Chain A
Amino acid sequence: MKASEPWERAGDKIRLQGFNLELWKYEGEPGSLIPLLQAAQRDYSYIPEAAIHYISDIVGIPPAQIYGVITFYTQFRLKPLGKYLLRICNGTACHVNGSKLMGQVIEDELGIGVGQTTEDGFFTVQSVACLGCCSLSPVMVINEDTHGRLDPRKIRKILKSYQSAG
């Protein structure tokens, strides 16, 4: 466990900062597991191991089972997101306009596939079904910025600009 992570240890218990404390009223309610996991993920961008133990204490579900639930749902992540979340569109329009190639270019440039995060924690690549701006296809969104009418050169340029911006 890294020291910089946002919780402190008090014996066996883990105190998480910035957790939505409203949810703790569900103590002992196994049914509140999913909202608690979502809260953890909202706060940390992923579910830290310590949060699993913490939630386990609250809802009374053993860590192994919670881990089972987390790995069951695709919505939960066990690793932090990168600084930049890159979502490449694979909707019909983008697909027709070569999104597959764009995905490959991203993979070549960053060295990671869909669902992965670069080692430096900079980029996380996700594939989505449609971003709702088919007129810009092929399109990708990095955090809140939309980049449309992509071609391989443009992608390299965009990625470089993020990398140099830091």
Chain B
Amino acid sequence: MVTLTIDGIQVTVPPGTMILEAAAKAGIKIPTLCNSKRLIPFGACRVCVVQQKGRRGLMPACFNPVRNGMEILTNTPDIIKARKIQLQLILISHPLDCPVCDAGGQCELQNLVYEYGVSENSFKGEKANLATDHVSPFIERNLNRCILCGMCVRICDEVVGANEISFLNRGFKMKIGTDFDRPMNCEFCGQCVSVCPVGALNDRMFLHKARPWDMKETQTICGYCGVGCTLTVGTKNGRILRVRGDESRGVNQGTLCVKGRFGWEYVHSPERLTSPLIKKDGSFVKATWEEAIGLVVKRLKEIKSEKGGSAIAGLCSPRLTNEELYSYQKLMRGVLGTNHIDHAGGYSYAAPLALRESLGYAASTNSINEIRKADVIIALRSDLSETHPVIKSEGVLAVKRRKAKLIVVNSRNIYLNKFSAFNLLVKPGSEVALINGMMQAILQEGLAKEEFVSSRTEGIEALKQSLKNYSPEKVEALTGVSRASFVEAARLFAKAVGGVILISTGQASEKKDRDLALAASNLTLLTGQIGKENAGIFILGEKNNSQGALDMGLTPGWLPGYANLGNPSERERFEKSWKLSIPEQEGMGALSILQAAEEGKIAGLYIAGENPLVAYPDSSRTKKALAAVDFLVVQDCFLSETASLAQVVLPAASFVEKDGTFTNADRRVQQVRPGLYPPGQARPDLWIFQQLSKSLGYKLNDPSAKAVMDEIKNLVPLYGGIDYARLDNPLGLQWPCSSADHPGTPFLYEKDFPAGKGKFIPVEFEEGPAETESPWFLITGPTMVHSGSLSLMSPGLTRLQGESYVQVHPEDARKLGLEDNQKVILRSKQGQITVKTLVSWNAAPGLLFVPCHFGQVGGNCLTGRDLTITKVQLEKV
């Protein structure tokens, strides 16, 4: 540690700290226009100059590391004069159009000019006269206001890795731009906008909407993916005007993706449901809450008394808050008497449950911010730039700052390969064989962490036995990956100080996800990459509360907190607390519910937030199943494809209109705070569940989300210490958090595994059924711009990507004589769609990719329920 004094205040900081940071620690603010804690110091603005006692001249504080015994002065007349001159130099070309600038009030230049009283400028010079970029989506660039601090260029390089913009020209003509000054065509994450200290880069949606100080800003959690980014939502007069990231809050530290920053428009969509709807003679009629709830209660009661609770089933979206999910399963299980409840199609959570089997907890083992400190990262079947862009940034930070090695295992040539050391392009579905092959190589070369394996794991012999079948030659044949590259990748991972495996979940067969997670868990146990910082396995949930839905027992077989439904004493614990009885028999999962519905066994189906018709495989069969249900209730923000089949539609609030908590992909429970009132008669899901329950004759819980969390904390030991007072901090709390004084758990299994030892559970690779008549492998998934039904209601996002497409590899396109943007028909056993082609090197030969959203032309019209690999035929129109 290094000790120095700054303006007479002594501070001790780690070596390598810059004076600017050390001063911040001492409580002294040194002004700067080009420094951000997210970026590597650059020294462009020269405003942060300080003096060292005993030395001549001034030096930039952002760029000079501390040394022992330094005496730094930050506020002498010389320094103030130098800063004033620096500001005057910047102001020579700055247009001073502050009254019409959107940065006014939050402009760092304006603030400094004010602070230093720079009212005159003896320097004269030309003002820049460059055209404003009115064309780029979401981002408006007014380069005349640019002060060339380079923060946008640096964040785009260092954090995002897109390198869309750069310094162009030289001297007075220098400016920031793209090659040939074309409009931007990037990820549109808006990180450049977020770091711009002046009004050169603006959020186009916020332009001329409000002065920053007129807005109310609410800290909440993003409602899109499982990363759980903290959003600062700016609202005025009941409308969102801007969303930004705050670099001092949340796992994202200010980084957001295009959906998080610009994808909120759906909240104000005119298509939002504002009143309950009841279907009369085939069309929807507006109804009051009393009528709608009365009808739902009457019909569900009838069904329950005629056919029993097991004729009722429920599907709930993992987009809801923990409190809502908990209340929903309580309502379904206890009040309506059915265990037929599930979420996310029932296929998205096999991976965390597999980790529960082998390691103990059904969740990621470490914290998201540790990824950037890892040495070796395996992105296992994870197209991070599309599914979790903020996690991609963690990977970019690791690769660019720490020279970490990224190993990409995917069946497509995903964008992430731009940063990878190894691109292991596997045959579709053969990831497990590759991991097994890597483990066999590790064993053969004696790279296994023997001590860790012998002291903390069990079942190594069985694993060794099963891995004998995975010789490098065989794995090469099974996966199509060259022996040399996966063996070298295995060596790297085994020798890493911190080795991380990232698995993103989504639509895949339950068995495949389970096998993949177990293979990953075996690999980490074998190499000791678990139970320590900067290592471990991450299961990246697709939805904002995928983790919470599992924790809250929204599954047919698990009660909240992974209490086993089949265990009478566990069930009793809940029954006693709820004063209700829970049916003994394990329920059906989502796809079985649909199967049963098809067979006429489900008379009442209550869907909250899910859109099975689009999100579940085999759309045409799903439609048949939903049509066969006597009484279908759908609760949603929009009249979704599924809702349009319902008898009663209940309007729900969006994530910015309610209270509660989400649990993200690193087990972090974070508070969701309302910034708006729901439109019209729309109500938070919690309110709806409670009203329904009340009409069914049971008080579900106290009305506030806080009270529900207090109930949860008493029943779910993992959440035992979580209450709203403690959640009011920038980083939330990571479970397991057993008591009020438990600090939360950033990484799991440090000392031991819950079952004592980590279990090796060998998994065998099974090739999918060989289907020969359809030549093309089909992969479906989300894209960076869309996540499902909600994002499609945001006009900005649909302008970027408005229709479905099929991604084709250029070599395949050449063979077929296909061009970009050409209509083709894809046909599988389940159905067919007509889409346009997108010829891209990101596909792989023989493999097609179709986004899983876009309802009637989405990938789910083609996929089957068994969800092994889909194969399709392709025809030109």
Contact = CB atoms under 8 A, between A and B. Distances in A.
Contact of A71 (B169, B811, B814, B841): B169
Nearest to A67: B179
Contact of A67 (B180, B811, B840): B180
Interface string B159-189: 0001111111110000001111000000000
Interface in B208-234: none
A11 B179 contact: no
Interface in A85-102: none
B530 interface: no
Nearest to A64: B166
B168 A68 contact: yes
A110 interface: no
B168 A67 contact: yes
Nearest to A69: B166
Chain A interface mostly helix, strand, loop or mixed?
helix
B292 interface: no
B170 A71 contact: yes
A44 to B, nearest CB: 16
Nearest to B814: A11
Contact of A63 (B170, B179, B813, B841): B179
B169 A52 contact: no
Given A71-B169, A71-B170, A72-B169, A64 B841 contact: no
Nearest to A74: B170
Contacts of A62: 162-164, 166
A108 interface: no
14 contacts: A11-B810, A12-B810, A12-B841, A49-B179, A62-B163, A62-B166, A64-B166, A64-B177, A67-B179, A71-B168, A72-B167, A72-B169, A72-B170, A78-B180
A49 B164 CA distance: 16
Given A12-B810, A64-B178, 11 more contacts: A11-B811, A12-B840, A12-B841, A52-B179, A64-B163, A64-B166, A67-B168, A67-B178, A67-B180, A71-B169, A78-B180
A66 interface: yes
A78 to B, nearest CB: 8
Main secondary structure of the interface of B (DSSP, over half): mixed
Contacts of A52: 179
A29 to B, nearest CB: 16
Contacts of A163: none
A77 B166 CA distance: 18
Nearest to B173: A71
Given A11-B814, A12-B810, A72-B170, A64 B179 contact: yes
Contacts of A78: 180
B435 interface: no
Contacts of B170: 71-72
B841 A11 contact: yes
A143 interface: no
Interface of B: 162-170, 177-180, 810-811, 813-814, 839-841
A10 B811 CA distance: 9
B811 A68 contact: no
A64 B168 CA distance: 8
Chain B CB within 10 Å — which of A11, A49, A78 has the most? A11
Contacts of B164: 62, 64
Interface in A13-67: 49, 52, 62-67
Contacts of B810: 10-12
A10 B841 CA distance: 11
B839 A65 contact: no
A145 B810 CA distance: 49
A78 B179 CA distance: 11
Nearest to B840: A12
B810 to A, nearest CB: 3
B871 to A, nearest CB: 24
A157 to B, nearest CB: 37
Contacts of A49: 179-180
Contacts of B841: 11-12
A64 B186 CA distance: 12
A65 B168 CA distance: 8
Contacts of B179: 49, 52, 63-64, 66-67
Contacts of A72: 167, 169-170
A62 B157 CA distance: 10
A33 B856 CA distance: 48
Contacts of A12: 810, 840-841
A10 to B, nearest CB: 8
A7 to B, nearest CB: 16
B651 to A, nearest CB: 45
Contacts of B168: 67-68, 71
B166 A65 contact: yes
Nearest to B813: A11
A58 to B, nearest CB: 14
B839 A67 contact: no
Contacts of B162: 62
A67 B165 CA distance: 10
Contacts of B166: 62, 64-65, 67-68
A52 B178 CA distance: 13
Contacts of A71: 168-170
B328 to A, nearest CB: 47
Nearest to A9: B810
A104 B179 CA distance: 33
A71 B176 CA distance: 12
A12 B415 CA distance: 14
B390 to A, nearest CB: 21
By CB atoms of chain B within 10 A, which of A11, A62, A66, A72 has the most?
A62
Nearest to A66: B179
B167 A68 contact: yes
A163 to B, nearest CB: 31
A62 to B, nearest CB: 3
A64 B182 CA distance: 10
Nearest to A11: B810
Contacts of B165: 64
Interface string A150-162: 0000000000000
Contacts of B839: 11
A160 to B, nearest CB: 35
A13 B163 CA distance: 19
A67 B177 CA distance: 9
A58 B86 CA distance: 40
A69 B534 CA distance: 37
Nearest to A62: B163
A68 B168 CA distance: 4
B433 to A, nearest CB: 29
A52 B179 CA distance: 9
A63 B841 CA distance: 17
A66 B180 CA distance: 11
B312 to A, nearest CB: 53
A2 B170 CA distance: 29
The 4 closest A-B pairs by CB, nearest first: A11-B810, A62-B163, A67-B179, A68-B166
Nearest to B167: A68
Contacts of B814: 11
Q: Could you say which of B163, B166, B169, B178 has the most chain A C-beta atoms within 10 Å of its C-beta?
A: B166
Contacts of B840: 12
Query: Which of the listed residues A10, A71, A72 has the most CB atoms from chain B within 10 Å of its own CB?
Result: A71
A71 B169 CA distance: 5
A72 B180 CA distance: 13
A52 B164 CA distance: 14
Identify which of A49, A64, A65 gathers the most chain B CB atoms within 10 Å of its CB.
A64
A12 B180 CA distance: 18
A90 B814 CA distance: 55
A52 to B, nearest CB: 6
Contacts of A63: 179
A86 B814 CA distance: 45
A55 B178 CA distance: 16
Interface in A114-139: none
A2 to B, nearest CB: 15
Contacts of A10: 810
A71 B168 CA distance: 6
Contacts of A68: 166-168
